[in-house]
Amino acid sequence: MNELIKQVEQWSIEKGLDKAESSKQFLKCTEELGEVAAALARNEKNALRDGIGDVVVTLIILAQQNDMDLYECLNTAYDEIKGRTGKMVNGVFVKSSDL
């Protein structure tokens, strides 16, 4: 996976995306999230797979634009959630502090 992330980062450098405005990249992320939602609504597994991949690509580039990397962001998030407690409510995990 690390090699694939590096390939995405290199691709973004070649396209000039690494120096582009982060707010525009975030808009691209949300566009791709919409495609994930559409794939889920239509139960289209191939479109879902592609959409999830597109979201990850946009997040890799967003992190790169801000002198971060995907692993750093993921590790930060995991450190925050690893000890989190809560329960499932209507199919959604709700952390204890929000119950």
Contact status, residue 65 vs residue 22, Cβ threshold 8 Å: yes
Dump pLDDT digits (tens) for 8-60: 999 999 999 999 999 999 999 999 999 999 999 999 999 999 999 999 999 99
Contact status, residue 57 vs residue 5, Cβ threshold 8 Å: no
Dump pLDDT digits (tens) for 80-97: 999 999 999 999 999 999
Q: How far apart are CA 69 and CA 24, in angstroms?
A: 18
For residue 56, the model assigns a pLDDT of 97
- CA 1 remoteness from chain centre: 15
Fold (topology level) of 2-98: Helix Hairpins (1.10.287)
Domain ranges of the chain: 2-98
Q: How far apart are CA 76 and CA 72, in angstroms?
A: 6
In the structure encoding, which two tokens stand for residue 56, read together? 């990850």
For residue 10, the model assigns a pLDDT of 97
For residue 58, the model assigns a pLDDT of 98
For residue 1, the model assigns a pLDDT of 83
